[in-house]
Structures are given as C-alpha cells and as structure tokens.
Structure 1
Amino acid sequence: MLPIDREQFVAGVRWWQTRTSWPNDFHNSDYEVLAAQNPDGDFRDSWWAGFLSRLTAWNALRPHSQADVTSRFTEHRDELSRTWHQACAPVKDLDITAVTWDQVRTFPEVVAWLKPTGPDPF
C-alpha cells in the first residue's frame, strides 16, 4: 500500500467536509466499535460476515467482489490472527500516542493482502 502525500490528504479532508454529512470523528468512533466487536483478534467466519457487511456499506471493496476478498480473508486468516497477536495485542490497551508505527506495521501489511490496492503481492 502506498502512503498518501499531504496534498492527497488535504483533498480527502476537503471532500469529507463538503461532500458528506459524516461527523468529524466518524473513523475514531467506528474503530472503537470494531475493536469492541473483536477485542482479541479472533478472525472467525462469524466475525467476518459482519465486518464484510460493513466494508460493503462503505464501498471499501471496490473494485473487488465480496467473494474475492472473502477468499483472500480465508486464505490469510491464520496470518492475520498471528500478526494481530504479535503486533496489536501487546499494545491494545495503550493510548495511541504511546504506540509507534513500527510496533504495529506488520498487521496492516497483512490486512492489505485482503484487498490489494496495487499489483498483487503474490
């Protein structure tokens, strides 16, 4: 996944503020809900069904299909769980200001396998 630059970030914020009625803390509050739904990194089919519905509602799968992303989830579920336990579990109760990117970076790298945004990593 490629990082965005400052100009892209500003454009995204501008779009958020002018084209949506979403509250400013939308993602922060949503992340709290998501964390509460899976506080122990237990990536089972029952969790995936609800999470897939949320991703679909966000239009976050495009241009991939639910079947394609679900297949990738199933294929990488064990790695997802293992990486969550290694990277996220040790810091899950810390304030975000006490967590460095290097501590957790492996988890979003594995998550990116579920819906690649560039050339397929495999």
Structure 2
Amino acid sequence: MSRRTPAPAAAKAPVAAAENAAPAAAPSDAQSGPSVAQTPPADAQSAAEAASAVPSAATAQRGDRIEVRVLSAFDEHVPNDVIAIDTTDLSALTDMVDADPAAVEYAKSLKA
C-alpha cells in the first residue's frame, strides 16, 4: 500500500487563486445598464450643441462671417482677441481660433 503525501501549498495556490477570482460578467449583465460610451458627458453634449450652432465650411457660403476667439497669436491678432472671419476660412484656422459662442463671450468679458 502506497502512502500519498499532500501536495505543497505552492502547488495549490494557483487553483485557490482561480477559485477566489471574481466570476466573469455574463453577457446579460453587460447590457443591463447604459455604458459610458452610450451616454456622453454633459460637456460633450454642450460641445456638440455648440458645434452644430457654428456653420460648417461645407454649408457656408463665401462672405458669411463668424466671430471667433483667437487662441494663439497669428498676423496682428493675440490670444483672447475676438475677430470676425469668413466661415469658409474656419477649417483652416481650427488650431488658432475657437468658434464656440461661449468661448467668444468669455473673450469679450475679458476685454470689458
């Protein structure tokens, strides 16, 4: 008759760790509530609303002008200046100006 010796504790550790691990979420659990991707934060919603208020270069016609806040100096403009530009030029200046109406109002309040 052979006598078995118990396995060392180190050999049992991976099994014990696997048994104590949290179970994976079932597919029905993952779809029970809205995810972060489905519900944008309020800031993203307001940014989307502001963007829709700004005419896009695709729909704008030459001669349409929009007030923008200057973000970085260019030509004779310095940051926080409020200037009017053609809406067709807006896409070329996206890194230098902000067309969000709230940003324009903020820049105007700084000059007052």
Q: TM-score, normalising length from structure 1? A: 0.25
| Higher strand residue share | 2
TM-score of the superposed pair, with normalisation by structure 2: 0.27
Bigger Rg over Cα: 2
- Determine which structure has greater relative contact order: mean sequence separation of CA pairs < 8 Å that are 6+ residues apart, divided by chain length: 1
